[in-house]
Structure formats: structure tokens, C-alpha cells
Amino acid sequence: MNAANSSQWLQPAFNNPVLDAQASFRTALKALSEPGLLQPMDRALALGNLQPATYALCLAFLDGDTPLWLAPCFDTPAIRANLSFHCGCPIVAERELALFALLDEAGAADLSAFDNGSERYPDQSCTLLVQLDALSGGEPLRWRGPGIKDVRSVELPLAPVFWQQRQARSAFPRGLDAFFAAGEQVIGLPRSTRVLLNAEEAA
């Protein structure tokens, strides 16, 4: 049966499921409350091409109530088997149904159809988990909003199309929250953060 075939892919997850999941969740909250600051997320090991921080976010967030959408590069038997086993999350093919989306840099260029919540339930939007090669080295952008004193400069290596799409899907309180993960670090970007794309917006 299905379980018998997929069990060969299984790997251990958190060493201490309760404490590690709580610590990772707490770090994720901290990342969202201080957008743009690097936070350590090192409680998990890598899984296939999922880096430790990305896998830790998955283990901390996902459970049976959180449908997940996988970008094609993460849609491997090993990742499917381990997320199903350790998180029990349903993996969906339709973006509209997903509460979490696991994206790579290429996947982050297309945010169409992810649920950005409703006026009544903005919390039911899809949260993006974006794995990048690094969390710096891109074009510096200035972030402004709750959790940031004045302006914070963040250099995520993302194509401009991501920022345009994020802007297009944002109609506060509706919008998409995102986490960017690389190696064992994570940066949060809540929907309340304004990313200043050009000079005149700074004024």
C-alpha cells in the first residue's frame, strides 16, 4: 500500500518534538514581529533539498488542518513522505485551497491564486514559506511598518516580479504573509510591512 511504499523515505524530524517545535514557532513569531531581522532557525536537519530552516518552519507550522501547496522542485517522494508522516498535512494541487505554500525562488515569481484571505477572515490567507540560497546579496529595499523603527534596509535576492505580485495581492487587512529561509536562518515579512520600491515612496 501507499504507506509501505513511502516508508523507505522517512527520516527523523525534531530531536525533541515538543520543545523544538515550540522554540521554532516562537522564533517564527519573532521573525514576523520584527520584519527583516535575521532569526536563527536551527532545530531541524536538512531534508533532501529542504534546508534546515525551511524544514523547521514546516515542522512547526503544519498539521492535519493546514493544506500545503508544494512548488515543483519540492514535490519529491522524500519531502511528501516526511511531511505527511511528521506533520500529517494534506498536500493539495490547487493553490486556492492551500493555507501554506512551500516555494523556491522561481516559485516566488508567481503568487497568483494563493488565498489572501477575506475581509471577514483575513487570517485565513495563505502563508508563503520561501526558500532562498541566501538572505542577503540582493538589491537593498527599504521596509517600513509595524515592528520597524523608521526604515530597515533588507537585501533579499528576489526578482522584482515578486514585489510587484505581493503589492498586487495586498489589500489590507487582506494579503500574504511570507517567511524567507536559507540555511539555518529565517526572515519574516508580514502583510503589514510596506516595501518601498522606488525613491519617491520614501518621502
Q: Which of 2, 8, 112, 198 binds another protein (CB under 8 A)?
A: 8
> Cα–Cα distance between 71 and 94 in angstroms, integer?
11
DSSP string, 22-62: HHHHHHHHHHHHSTT--EE--SS--BTTB-HHHHHHHHHH-
What's the grid cell of residue 79? Answer: 519531502
Q: How many residues bind another protein (CB under 8 A)?
A: 9
Q: Which of 85, 91, 159, 192 binds another protein (CB under 8 A)?
A: 85
11 binds another protein (CB under 8 A): yes
Point out which span in 5-13, 128-136, 138-146, 152-160 binds another protein (CB under 8 A): 5-13
12 binds another protein (CB under 8 A): yes
CB of 79 to another protein, least distance (A): 15
CB of 93 to another protein, least distance (A): 27
CB of 8 to another protein, least distance (A): 5
146 binds another protein (CB under 8 A): no
CB of 16 to another protein, least distance (A): 9
10 binds another protein (CB under 8 A): yes
Which among 116, 106, 117 is positioned nearest to 161, based on CA atoms?
106
Q: Which of 24, 59, 86, 175 binds another protein (CB under 8 A)?
A: 86
Alpha-carbon distance values, 9 to 16, 80, 151 (Å): 20, 9, 45
Which residues, including other chains, have CB under 8 Å from residue 48's CB and lie 6 or more apart? 76, 78, 79
> Cα–Cα distance between 143 and 120 in angstroms, integer?
27
Beta bridge partners of 189: 178
> Cα–Cα distance between 49 and 54 in angstroms, integer?
10
CB of 3 to another protein, least distance (A): 9
Interface residue list for another protein (CB under 8 A): 7-8, 10-13, 17, 85-86
